[in-house]
Structure 1
Amino acid sequence: MKQALDGITIADFTQMMQGPWATQKLADMGADVIKIERIGGEWERKLPAGGELYDGVSPFFLAMNRNKRSVTLDLKSEGGQQVALDIAAEADAVVENFRPGVMEKFNLSYDDVREVNPEVVYVSASGFGSDGPYADRPGQDLLLQAMSGLANYTGRKDDPPTPVGTAVVDEHSATLIALNTMFALFHKERTGEGQRLEANLLNAALDFQCQELTAAMNMDKDFERSKEGVAQAWLGGPYGIYETADGYVAIAMTPMDVLADVTGLDELKEFDGEEATYEHRDEIKRILEAYTRTQPTDELLEKFLTADIWISSVEDFDDVQANPQIQHNDMIVELDHPDGGTFRTVGPPVDHSETPASLEEGPPNPGQHTEEVLAEHGYDEETIANLRHQGVAE
């Protein structure tokens, strides 16, 4: 079946998560993503998870580099730069997330590429942008959770600032990169005009907090974390995580009279209206949690879901893999490991009726497709052999 991005070629100069997860999203939809790595491969290939690799490769790398072809080049050499430029010359889009200025040092800047490919969509991603007072700072997810306010509004009132348990800024930035690359490719398809896009982690961190920042910037009110652990500094009770007799559940926005009727906690009816549920959010949580601690999780779920109360069990990753809805949605997939065998990972999250995502290949080994890609770009066997001998390509 034809895929949405069949015929689109992406020259991918990205590393870590922000860029590679973005280009994987494009690869899943049929784009030919040529991953251009340093000799030996990008360093996240050896980034441990919990101090370990999975069969010699980082599971983080495995999660974000399927459906790509790998070319390894020494981009500090003139020969490597020329090969990379030849690949970029025939690409529909170039995506990179080096620190600002690095692609210029490699003679692969937007202007350099545009000279040989005037219609190119050139995407630069970084921590803070290509200029400005923070442009030279290191950009990394935890740092942006701190700078954007996210860590300061996560957790309980008396806790220190608390980061979330995943690289949420990188993840959102990757999705924005993929989305805006598609916008630019659509514009190019209609007009023949390329352009340069700039994405950064700081902007992404603000973007996904749009509702909270809008509230903070426009309301004469101090928003503080709840002492008892209501899960959002801007919402009232019962919104939060509750201990049960044998685990935990999450309870979202629910009218107090409904909660009172289902639980028999008539005192909850005193907190009528949004202002009251916010002002008394800690008291609401204490009252309700004293009740949930007496209830087995499954019984609580059945009782609350029957009353259309927004509730979920709190699950670990073993539970997630066994979750019947996740299995029904085909969100856990198995792919070939680059060094043999298979591994399990997360599949494409959106179904397309006519142009579905395809999981053709697992992540490549470093330089697995160097010869193949260079041959497609006009390099003969002797030239490729010479490039390998000179250490320009691998």
Structure 2
Amino acid sequence: MTPALEGITVADFTQLKQGPLATQKLAEMGAEVIKIEPVHGEYQRGLRMGGELLEGEGPSFLSFNRSKRSVTLDLKSDEGHNIAMEIVESADVVIENFRPHVMDSLGLGYEDVTEVNPDVVYVSSSSYGPDGPRADEPGQDLLMQSMSGLPSIGGRGGDPPTPAPISVVDLHGAMLNAFHVMTALFHREQTGEGQKVDLNLMDAAIDLQIEEIFLQMNLDKEFERSEEGIAYKYLGAPYGIYETADGHVTISMNPIDDLVDVLDLTIDVEYDSSEAAYENRDQIKREIEAQTREWQTDELLETLLAEDVWVSEVKEYEDMVEDPQVEHNEIICDVEHPTVGEMTTVAPPVSMSKTPPEIKSAPPLLGEHNEEVLSELGYDASEYERLVEEGVMTEAGSTE
């Protein structure tokens, strides 16, 4: 089958999570992604997670950079800049996520690139946008969660603001990047016109909360977090996680009467309207949980699922990967890496009958494709050796 993005070349100047995940998605739909890194490698190559590297490789880097080729360049050198311009000249997409004007200072901004590639799709994804009062401030997922209000709606009532435990803004930003690259490419296919695409993490953080912000801005009500851990600030009981005799289950949006019947509950507060289920949610949760604590998890799940109650077990990752549905969907897979060996990761999460995504290769070693890409640009082996000696590039696979 011909990949959907076969023939599309992406010059990828991104780093960290948001940009690299976006370009990984494009790569696995068939795009040729050339990851252009500084000579010492992008930051996540050396970022320890839980204080650990994986056989000398950054675990976070390994998560977000498969199916790409790596080229190292000193973009501040004349020759490094010239090679980068040769790469972007034939690229369909240029994508970067530096602070505003960094690419301009390197002579690789939108105006510079369109001089040699006028129909390019040029994507800039900054923290706050290209201009404005915060444009030069640092931005990162946790910072964006915080300024957007996200931690204020998580956790229990009385707790400090509680951020999401994963980089949800980066991940949502990555999806926005990939989506708008595709939209711009579709526009170019129709009109022949490239364009500049500006995205930013602050807007991604706010867009992520479209429902919650709408509720807060339009409903004349003061919403409080649940003291007993109802999982969503804007919903009533039973929505949340419940302790069992040997674990936990999640009970989603269900009529409380269903739980009363199945579990033979007696609830001493009103719950027969959505308003009452919200106002009395903490007491309702306490009374439901007093009953679920008497059940073994497997027995409770079997009983509730038989009555079509929306319920699931709360799993650890080690249990999740062995779930029969997870195995059936083949969403967890193994990839062979030249230094790490076999590593377990998450497969592309979609099935397509004509253009399925594919993991083409493991995350690249630093500068692994330097000589290969230079050869495609017309450089010979001796020129590559000279560029390495002069520090314009690094030796393929070097960790220095």
If the TM-score is normalised by the length of the shorter chain, which range does it land in?
over 0.9
Q: Which residue of 2 aligns with 1:159?
A: 159
Match of 2:280 in 1: 280
Instruction: Using the TM superposition, give the Cα deviation of residue 328 of structure 1 relative to its aligned residue in structure 2, in angstroms.
Output: 0.9
Cα-to-partner distance string for 1:112-167 (whole Å, 9 max, x where unaligned): 00110000000001111111111111111111111111111100001101111111
Task: Give, in whole Å, the separation in 2 of the partners of 1:389 and 1:187.
Answer: 43
Shift of the alpha carbon at 1:93? 0.1
Say whether residues 1:69 and 2:69 are aligned partners. yes
Whether contact under 8 Å (1:256, 1:269) holds in the other structure is no
1:96 corresponds to: 96
Q: CA deviation at 1:302?
A: 0.7
Verify: 1:222 aligned to 2:250, yes or no: no
Q: Which residue of 2 aligns with 1:326?
A: 326
Cα distance in 1, alignment partners of residues 309 and 199 from structure 2: 39
- The residue aligned with 2:232 is 232
| Letter of the 2:134 counterpart | Y
**Corresponding residue of 1:310:** 310
Mapped contact 1:3–1:30 kept (Cα < 8 A): yes
Q: Does 1:37 align with 2:27?
A: no
The structural deviation recorded for 1:219 is: 1.1
**CA RMSD across the alignment:** 1.2
In the superposition, the TM-score normalised over structure 2's length comes to 0.96
For 2:202 and 2:364, the matched residues in 1 are separated by: 30
Residue 259 (structure 2) aligns with? 259
Q: Quick one: which amino acid aligns to residue 257 of structure 1?
A: D
Q: How many residues align?
A: 394
1:55 aligns with 2:62: no
CA offsets 1:16-57 (integer angstroms, 9 cap, x no match): 001000000000111000000000211201111110001111
What is aligned with 1:143? 143
- SS in structure 2 at match of 1:146: helix
Q: Distance in 2 between matches of 1:43 and 1:338?
A: 20
Are 1:46 and 1:58, in contact at CA under 8 Å, matched by a contact in 2?
A: yes
TM value normalised by structure 1:
0.98
Retained in 2: the 8 A contact 1:260–1:269?
no
The code of the aligned residue for 2:296 comes to: P
| Partner Cα distance (2:312, 2:377) in 1 | 53
Task: After superposition, give the CA deviation of every residue in 1:95-114 in whole Å (9 maximum; x if it has no partner).
Answer: 10111111111110011001
Counterpart amino acid of residue 74 in structure 1: D
The reply on whether 1:351 has 2:347 as its aligned counterpart is no
Secondary structure of the 2:198 match is: strand
Deviation at 1:386, TM superposition (A): 2.8
Deviating runs (4+, > 4 A) in structure 1?
Answer: none
Shift of 1:378: 2.4
2:269–2:284 Cα contact (<8 Å) kept:
no
Q: 1:384 deviation in Å?
A: 2.7
CA-to-aligned-CA distance 1:72-97 (integer Å, 9 cap, x gap): 00011121111111100100000101
The alignment partner of 1:19 has SS state of helix
Deviations 1:160-206 (A, max 9, x none): 01111111110110011011100001111111100011111111111
CA offset at residue 387 of structure 1? 2.1
Deviation at 1:273, TM superposition (A): 1.5
Hey, what does 2:17 align to over in structure 1?
Answer: 17
After TM superposition, list the pairs within 5 Å mapping 1:56-205 onto structure 2: 56-205=56-205
Q: Is the 8 A contact 1:184 1:195 kept in 2?
A: yes
For 2:340 and 2:213, the matched residues in 1 are separated by 47
5+ residue gaps, structure 1, are none
Q: What are structure 2's unaligned runs of at least 5 residues?
A: 395-400
Following TM superposition, by how much is the alpha carbon of 1:269 offset from its aligned partner in structure 2, in angstroms? 8.5
CA distance in 2, matches of 1:320, 1:164: 20
Question: AA paired with 2:341?
Answer: G
Q: Is the 8 A contact 2:73 2:393 kept in 1?
A: yes
* Cα distance, 1:266 vs structure 2: 3.8
Note the alpha carbon deviations across 1:315-344, whole angstroms, 9 max, x for none.
Answer: 111111111111111111111224151211
Q: Distance in 2 between matches of 1:262 and 1:297?
A: 15
Displacement of 1:244: 0.6
Match of 2:297 in 1: 297
2:28 counterpart residue number? 28
Residue 379, structure 1, aligned to residue 379, structure 2 = yes
Aligned partner letter, 1:88: V
What is the CA–CA distance in structure 2 between the aligned matches of 1:224 and 1:111, rounded to whole Å?
49
DSSP-derived class of the 2:351 partner:
coil
Q: Output the amino acid matched with 1:388.
A: V
* SS of the residue 2:18 aligns to: coil
Q: Does the CA contact (< 8 Å) of 1:338 and 1:363 recur in 2?
A: no
Contact 1:260/1:268 (CA < 8 Å) preserved in 2? no
2:397 corresponds to? none
Aligned-pair distance for 1:268?
6.9
Distance 2:382 2:52 in 1: 40
The amino acid of 2:131's aligned partner reads D
